[in-house]
């Protein structure tokens, strides 16, 4: 951020209109690399040039956002995207709507090459974590305090404090990321976190970036293998897929992708194998499947064959459909699935 400020200052001191050069995020410059299994932003650059009248407003917005973020960091504070948008009003910075300010924050991510969470901008919390992991907080007012994340059986919300905490100690050996809150509670209650030595993460639908970041950190810093457990439908599959391969929208942030994570179910083929209560796929589901069949992230196994299986059986099932065999059956199911991966 200081380099940014200095470069602007230099431009002005040299009698030039200041400008900002950052990676181009338009679709022509975002490529999927099949060998590495992830998206990458190419070498094209985009420029916000204050000399160009069409860029001037955008330039101004970018500089104010950088200033806002600088103050957050200096004061060890955090903010939501929404707070940032409203704060701009107090400075007379003119964002048409929050979509516009969100886009500028993404520009700043691309410029700095780090996710917004590392400069204090967080989304609303909706994911949660539970398991034998002792963390130490680094946020304002809690520096040096530590907590073990198995101490509240309802789970801990994953917010700024946990995302940016230091990992101190764990006896866990794996991570299980779970689509629904009901199933997350079930795995805690069935003591599966203990019997399988697992840290559990509740994704709450499509994984928020803070949850993806925690999974990445657990995998990388602690060497824990991560398994993803979703509903048996194309949306559940895609939740898992984005954790493994990333998304086009966050191609500029490599730190959110965990190539090593495995989707373990519920598979389309499990619907028959485990005789699960199932519903018919809707037209929207079938359209999504056709869309994913063309997606480069779905060329490998198990992705491709499970998509084709969904298309064949035209059925979907929820994680909790496993309860038809009793509330504890999920434990047996997960053990079978995870042993297959070792």
CB nearer to its own copies: pick between 63 and 188: 188
Among 34, 153, 259, 296, binds its own copies (CB under 8 A): 153
Among 155, 208, 236, 265, binds its own copies (CB under 8 A): 155
Report if residue 206 touches its own copies, rule: CB under 8 A.
no
Site residues for its own copies, window 274-303 (CB under 8 A)? 277
Report if residue 152 touches its own copies, rule: CB under 8 A.
yes
Report if residue 214 touches its own copies, rule: CB under 8 A.
no
What SS3 string covers the chain?
CHHHHHHHHHHHHCCCCCEEEEECCCHHHEEEECCCCEEEECCCEEEEECCCCCCHHHHHHHHHHHHHHHHHHHCCCCEEHHHHHHHHHHCCCCCCCHHHHHHHHHHHHHHHCCCHHHHCEECCCCCEEECCEEEECCCCCCCCCEEECCCCCCCEECCHHHHCCEEEEECCCEEEEECCHHHHHHHHHCCHHHHCCEEEEECCCCCCHHHHHHHHHHHHHHCCEEEEECCECHHHHHHHHHHHHCCHHHCCCHHHCCCCCEEEECCHHHHHHCCCCCEECCHHHHHHHHHHHCCHHHCCCCHHHHHHHHHHHCEEECHHHHHHHCCCHHHHHHHHHHHCCC
Among 18, 115, 159, 208, binds its own copies (CB under 8 A): 159
Report if residue 331 touches its own copies, rule: CB under 8 A.
no
Report if residue 125 touches its own copies, rule: CB under 8 A.
yes
Does 86 qualify as catalytic in the annotation?
yes
| Total residues binding its own copies (CB under 8 A) | 51
Among 29, 118, 134, 157, binds its own copies (CB under 8 A): 157
Report if residue 180 touches its own copies, rule: CB under 8 A.
yes
Report if residue 273 touches its own copies, rule: CB under 8 A.
no
| Residue ranges that bind its own copies, judged by CB under 8 A | 77-80, 82-83, 86-87, 89-90, 122, 124-126, 128, 137, 139-142, 145, 147, 151-162, 180-182, 185-186, 189, 191, 277, 318, 320-327
Active-site residue list = 86
């Amino acid at each position: 951020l200081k380099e940014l400020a200095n470069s602007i200052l230099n431009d002005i001191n040299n009698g030039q209109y200041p400008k900002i050069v950052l990676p181009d995020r338009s679709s022509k410059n975002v490529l999927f690399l099949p060998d590495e299994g992830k998206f990458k932003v190419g070498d094209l650059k985009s420029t916000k040039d204050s000399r160009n009248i069409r860029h001037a407003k955008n330039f101004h917005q970018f500089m104010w956002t950088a200033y806002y973020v600088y103050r957050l960091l200096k004061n060890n504070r955090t903010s939501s995207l929404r707070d940032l948008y409203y704060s701009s009003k107090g400075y007379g910075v003119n964002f048409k709507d929050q979509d516009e300010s969100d886009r500028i924050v993404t520009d700043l991510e691309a410029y700095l090459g780090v996710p917004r969470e590392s400069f204090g901008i967080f989304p609303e919390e909706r994911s949660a974590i539970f398991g034998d992991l002792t963390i130490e907080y680094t946020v304002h007012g809690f520096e040096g305090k530590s907590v073990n994340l198995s101490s509240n059986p309802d789970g801990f919300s994953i917010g700024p404090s946990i995302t940016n905490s230091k990992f101190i100690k764990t006896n866990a050996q794996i991570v299980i990321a779970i689509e629904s809150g009901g199933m997350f509670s079930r795995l805690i209650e069935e003591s599966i976190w203990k019997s399988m030595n697992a840290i559990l993460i509740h994704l709450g639908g499509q994984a928020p970036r803070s949850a993806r970041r925690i999974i990445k950190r657990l995998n990388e810093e602690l060497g824990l293998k991560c398994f993803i457990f979703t509903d048996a439908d194309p949306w559940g599959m895609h939740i898992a897929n984005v954790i493994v391969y990333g998304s086009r929208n966050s191609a500029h942030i490599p730190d959110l992708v965990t190539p090593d994570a495995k989707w373990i179910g519920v598979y389309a083929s499990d619907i028959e194998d485990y005789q699960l209560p199932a519903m018919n796929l809707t037209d929207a589901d079938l359209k999504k499947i056709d869309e994913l069949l063309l997606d480069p992230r779905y060329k490998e196994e198990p992705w491709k064959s499970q998509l084709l299986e969904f298309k064949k059986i035209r059925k979907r099932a929820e994680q909790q459909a496993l309860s038809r065999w009793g509330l504890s059956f999920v434990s047996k199911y997960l053990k079978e699935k995870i042993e297959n991966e070792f």
